[in-house]
């Protein structure tokens, strides 16, 4: 299902519902509940937005995840649309996050934006200085495509 959304600059663009495996959906919901009890108050807005996305997500068995979808434990190359700088991240659950290893939590601002999106999409990430846009350039590794369906 495609939705029309307005970017911060007021430009209209078409976006897709996020796609999640059943297992990722369940674990992210649990992480959100845990976050509500012990999370950083500065991140509540991002987590609330992710929770809203979960309500509209297309949830499928892991074997039905397309190879271009960012899932948990995926390694993805993103490009800052403004600076053209590329960075590689691995999207992980909060307890595995380690910025020194470019492992970002699904509950972080960029993690919330990336989960369930596809290669080629541009995501908006709120940062203290405003909104940054990142294009998902390449999926270097995705567990489902590698046959790791029950991780």
Q: Give me the pLDDT at residue 151, please.
A: 60
52 belongs to a structural domain: yes
- Sign (positive or negative) of CA dihedral 126, 127, 130, 135: negative
149 belongs to a structural domain: no
- Crossing angle, helix 44-56 and helix 22-38, to 10 degrees? 150
151 belongs to a structural domain: no
Q: What's the number of domains the chain is made of?
A: 1
101 belongs to a structural domain: yes
pTM of the model: 0.80
The residues, ordered by sequence, that sit 6+ positions from 102 with a Cβ below 8 Å of its Cβ are 87, 88, 89, 90
Q: What is the pLDDT along the chain (151 residues), one digit of tens a residue?
A: 334 343 333 333 345 678 999 999 998 988 888 877 776 666 677 677 778 888 888 999 999 999 999 999 999 999 999 999 999 999 999 889 999 999 999 988 899 899 999 999 999 998 888 899 999 999 999 999 998 876 6
30 belongs to a structural domain: yes
Q: Give me the pLDDT at residue 16, please.
A: 60
72 belongs to a structural domain: yes
The residue written with tokens 């430009």 in the block is 11
148 belongs to a structural domain: no
Query: What CATH number does residue 6 fall under?
Result: 3.10.50.30
DSSP code of 94? G
What is the span of the domain harbouring residue 61? Answer: 2-141
The residue written with tokens 């434990």 in the block is 73
Calpha distance 98→110 (Å, rounded): 14
150 belongs to a structural domain: no
């Amino acid at each position: 299902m495609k939705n029309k959304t307005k970017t911060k600059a007021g430009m209209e663009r078409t976006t897709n519902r996020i796609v999640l495996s059943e297992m990722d959906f369940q674990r992210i919901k649990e992480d959100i509940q845990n976050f509500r009890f012990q999370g950083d108050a500065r991140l509540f807005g991002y987590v609330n937005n992710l929770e809203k996305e979960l309500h509209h997500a297309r949830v499928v068995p892991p074997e039905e995840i397309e190879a271009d979808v960012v899932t948990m434990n995926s390694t993805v190359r993103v490009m800052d649309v403004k600076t053209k700088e590329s960075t590689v991240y691995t999207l992980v659950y909060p307890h595995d996050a380690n910025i020194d290893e470019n492992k970002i939590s699904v509950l972080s601002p960029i993690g919330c934006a990336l989960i369930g999106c596809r290669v080629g999409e541009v995501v908006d990430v709120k940062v203290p200085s405003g909104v940054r846009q990142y294009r998902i350039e390449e999926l270097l590794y995705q567990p489902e495509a590698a046959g790791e369906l029950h991780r």
